[in-house]
Amino acid sequence: MSQHPVFTSALPTGDDAGHILIVGGGASGVLMATHLLSAHKKLRVTILESANLLGCGLAYSTRDPDHLLNTRVHNMSAFPEDPFHFHRWLQGRSEGRGLDEHSFVSRATYGAYLSDLLRPWSLAEEERRLTCLRRKCIRIEERPDGVLAHLEGGDVIGAQIAVLATGHVLPRPDPAGLLTGAWEGVCGLDPDAGVLIIGSGLSMVDQVLSLMKSGHRGPITTLSRRGQLPRPHAPTRPDPIRLDEIPVDQPLSQLLRWLRGRIARVEADGGTWRDVIDGLRPHVSAIWQVMPVEKRARFLRHLVSWWDVHRHRIPAASDRRIADAVASGKLTHRRGAFLRAERGENGLLRAYIRPHGQTDESVIEAARIIDCRGIRNDPEYNATPLIADLLASGRARVDELRIGLQVNATCQLIDAADRASSRILAIGPVSRAAFWEITAIPDIRVQTAALARRIAKLVRVGA
């Protein structure tokens, strides 16, 4: 994959005032840069990204056209105030022909859209407001008037504010080499061989679709603790739920009872559960922020799987292909816990599992075991050098539930002494602890647009 044309090797020049440094050039970082550059003509932005492409990150780096967005075109604009921006962009491309705002497009196409957002700023050489470097930041030093970012290789960049947009935490590679990562693809596999997929979420769907597209004929088995599968999209009319109607101060059991009652009433009027989930979505972050830690912990233990499969749905076409694979006998879903793996004397991998409701172990043999248990939430797990340094120095801390860095309502990083940084901010998935629903584009675009407006008011940008 060639390097993104926006990248340069020249470090940014000029005064630190009005210069914003963004660490991470995936979806969150590109949206942040786009909104900052749009917010004030005197702001300058530098993006640090170690990968080849900007805007793709983990979610949109796949090249498989069968890996579709899980949200319709009309809700994937980069701009909250311009909901058809992505749709208009699509109409100018060959892959957009015949598609409308209700379509689902490939994630690779959306990655190209995010990447294109930066082109107008990169072409304005006389202003040089955007600098994109394929470099890794290993340390950020706070000063009274700004920050110094120390890069791998020894270079240092000054800025007035740094924004962490480091995205999702990838699982560590299996040290024994027995488990294949979900992002490693399915190449080099005997088409008649058995495959075991650990996990039954969105990554599992991608892997099954890729296997079927490649002509795989062997048996595919999925294994998950709760046996929950992503639900399919269907037309919805979001229920007009008001925040003051939701019993946010009640126990989680009461909140769930209210939700089920609301769904029952909507279904009695001809609607579906999707209408209620979509009507609840705008309030999820507000609900999360007033939840005590103990209540959040119970949600993560008992309800998060149920919520995820209803909230993060898949296109109906993908759902039909999964159902067809089950009906044909090619795909089998099993419920249970994965324990360990080893290589058998026959060369096959042996996965030891504990089936649901049983105490004894059993074994599944497969030529390949694909780990689709998803991203890791704990920022200390497989941390980048920058995140590890921030945590070790006490300038950042992990929240009590270990699902993100601690930030306040305005995205300021909280240190070990409970002080909010005025110089280092965090957005997107890394800020999950404070906002929960901050991993999807419709949520991140709102967060970055609001933060860009706030930064534009706060920073010194000269006369």
**What digits encode the pLDDT tens for the residues 291-312?**
999 999 999 999 999 999 999 9
- Tens of pLDDT along 94-130? 888 888 889 999 999 999 999 999 988 876 655 678 9
145-162 mean pLDDT: 95
Q: Do the two domains 7-170+377-458 and 179-231+313-371 of this chain adopt the same fold? A: yes
**316 against 9, higher pLDDT:** 316
Question: Measured between alpha carbons, how far is residue 350 from residues 109, 216, 258, 334, 462 in Å?
Answer: 38, 20, 44, 16, 64
Strands 220-224 and 331-343: parallel
pLDDT at position 62 is 83
For domain 7-170+377-458, give the CATH superfamily: FAD/NAD(P)-binding domain (3.50.50.60)
- Tens of pLDDT along 186-204? 778 999 999 999 999 999 9
**pLDDT over 90 percentage in the chain:** 78
- Tens of pLDDT along 399-452? 999 999 999 999 999 999 999 999 999 999 999 999 999 999 999 999 999 999
Give the domain 179-231+313-371 fold.
Answer: FAD/NAD(P)-binding domain (3.50.50)
Does the pLDDT value for residue 2 go beyond 60? no
pLDDT at position 41 is 87
Distance CA 238, CA 232 (A): 16
pLDDT at position 73 is 95
- Tens of pLDDT along 66-97? 899 999 999 999 999 999 999 999 998 888 88
- Give me 295's structure tokens: 């209540």
Exposure b/e, 73-98, CB count within 10 A at least 16 = b: bebbbbbeeeeebbbebbeeeeebee
Provide the edge-to-edge strand list for the sheet that holds 156-159: 137-143, 146-151, 156-159
Q: Are 391 and 381 in contact (CB under 8 A)?
A: no
HEC assignment per residue over the chain: CCCCCCEECCCCCCCCCCEEEEECCCHHHHHHHHHHHHHCCCCEEEEECCCCCCCCCCCCCCCCCCCECCCCHHHCCCCCCCCCHHHHHHHCCHHHCCCCCCCCCEHHHHHHHHHHCCHHHHHCCCCCCEEEECCCEEEEEEECCEEEEEECCCCEEEECEEEECCCCECCCCCCCCCEEECCCCCCCCCCCCCEEEECCCHHHHHHHHHHHHCCCCCCEEEEECCCCCCCECCCCCCCCCCHHHCCCCCCHHHHHHHHHHHHHHHHHCCCCHHHHHHHHHHHHHHHHHHCCHHHHHHHHHHCHHHHHHHHCCECHHHHHHHHHHHHCCCEEEEEEEEEEEEECCCCCEEEEEEECCCCCCEEEEECEEEECCCCECCCCCCCCHHHHHHHHCCCCCECCCCCCECECCCCEEECCCCCEEEEEEECHHHHHHHHCCCCCHHHHHHHHHHHHHHHHHHCCCCC
Residue ranges per structural domain of the chain: 7-170+377-458, 179-231+313-371, 243-311
Distance CA 48, CA 25 (A): 6
Question: Measured between alpha carbons, how far is residue 280 from residues 44, 140, 307, 380, 456 in Å?
Answer: 37, 38, 11, 31, 31
Distance CA 84, CA 88 (A): 6
Does the pLDDT value for residue 463 go beyond 50? no
- Tens of pLDDT along 207-244? 999 999 999 999 999 999 999 999 999 999 999 999 99
Distance CA 18, CA 273 (A): 47
> What band does 1 get if pLDDT is binned at 50, 70 and 90?
very low
Q: Are 208 and 197 in contact (CB under 8 A)?
A: yes
